[in-house]
Amino acid sequence: MTKRIKYDPDNIFAKILRGDMPCVKICEDDDILAFMDIFPQSKGHSLVIPKRAKATMIFDIDPDELSGLTLGVQKVAKAIDKALEPDGVRIVQFNGSESGQTIFHIHFHIIPVYAGAPVRPHAGGAPADTAVLTEIAAKIAAAL
């Protein structure tokens, strides 16, 4: 059984939601916040998080909040597909540290995949240039 982690209201995504930490925002509505992953695995790698849920994993989230979250994921994935024209798109959601989860606030990764371009490891490498992320986020936002 996956080890349950208690929700920490000071996790980095909670801080982003409160405005205590910056992010490169793509879009936001009543249910979700979508922003660029600071450690992108590929060009356009984005994250979608719920705004109200205090859940660490898919096991913990209220079904109505999960519904809003997945609709937001679909919306952002479509915009990424339109704006960046990748050859494929991975949608990933980790549950528990053994699965690769590093931030314990439920979230989905949207990772564009480009033929011939390697996908970098999860949560690895150096942070991306914020100016580059801002430019990509603007293209995705314009496609919404």
Alpha-carbon gap, residue 84 to 87, rounded angstroms: 9
Q: Which two tokens stand for residue 53?
A: 């849920």
pTM for this predicted structure: 0.96
Q: What is the pLDDT of residues 27-82, one digit of tens each?
A: 999 999 999 999 999 999 999 999 999 999 999 999 999 999 999 999 999 999 99
Identify the pLDDT of residue 4. Answer: 84
> What CATH number does the domain located at 12-142 have?
3.30.428.10
- pLDDT tops 80 at residue 1: no
| First vs last C-alpha separation in the chain | 38
For the chain, the maximum distance between any two Cα atoms, rounded to a whole number of angstroms, is 42
Q: Which two tokens stand for residue 12?
A: 């980095």
Residue 45 is a catalytic residue: no
Catalytic residue selected from 45, 105, 107, 109: 107
